[in-house]
Amino acid sequence: MSKYKDKKPSMIEFTRKYANNDQACEDFFFRAKYPNGYYCEKCGCTHYRKISTRNHVYTCSKCGHQSCLFAGTIFQDCKLGLYKLLLGLFIFFTSNKGVSAMEMRSQLDVNYKTALLLCRKCRVLMTECNSEKILDNMFYEADVAYIGSRSKEPGHQGCGTEQQPFFIALSTSRNNNYPQFIKLRAVPKDDRETTNAFLTQSLVLSKDRTLNTEGKTTFNIMKDRITVVNEKIDYSKD
């Protein structure tokens, strides 16, 4: 059993915090959109005011540019209310076994098409962060995978081998034992320098954050910059 399992937030906690609380839901999405606080994409100003007649719209105090909470995000055209959307995300990302559209439909009391769309968006979200965006969480996992056959030439390593190493970094939350975001990168070799470069470019590092390496000692090169632990996490167990 994963030691993080017991810290998974319960449905009780979730509903206590967000049900019938549009402001708490909005705050959640606001923080997700602006993790470092609001900024105007037109002028860079960090102050805004809200228009009371329009929900979830922020107006830049300096230039008046208006931005909607979900504008430019995957939920731009989402018709679900904030609570149902957040609940759908909660159900999807706290499930260890994946969530079907049928299940999502009955849990959220929405039609099948809406549920299917939300499940698809959740899956996109899980992989979307394999982009230029740096992962920022308190808990990460990293591993190296190899794709392709082993080189037939003994002792031949690096670019010339037929095995292609991939670095994998996952970002998870201590409250959620299922990985949320992923970064993958094919690299010529999995030496210390490449490891360092990949993790520096992929993760926000600090000593109060934890990197689990599944026992791979290559990642110990990061020990000065993040807390490295070497434990296996089994997601298949409940």
Residues at the interface with Zn ion (CB under 5 A): 40, 42-43, 45, 60, 62-63, 65
| Cβ within 8 Å of residue 5, ≥6 positions away | 177, 238
Nearest CA-CA partner of 220 in 192, 188, 180: 192
Q: Which is nearer to Zn ion, 5 or 62 (CB)?
A: 62
Compute the least distance from the CB of residue 59 to Zn ion, in Å.
Answer: 9
Which CB sits closer to Zn ion, 40 or 211?
40
Closest approach of Cβ 35 to Zn ion, in Å? 19
* Pairing relationship of beta strands 210-212 and 139-147 according to DSSP bridges: parallel
Closer residue to Zn ion, CB minimum distance, 65 or 225: 65
**Residue 88 near residue 125, CB atoms below 8 Å:** no
Which residue(s) pair with 186 in the sheet? 166
Tell me the sheet residues that pair with 210: 139, 227
In total, the chain counts a number of residues equal to 238
The smaller minimum CB distance to Zn ion, of residues 59 and 95, is found at 59
CA dihedral 140, 201, 162, 230 (to 10 degrees): -30
Question: Least distance from C-beta 57 to Zn ion, angstroms?
Answer: 14
Q: Closest approach of Cβ 193 to Zn ion, in Å?
A: 41
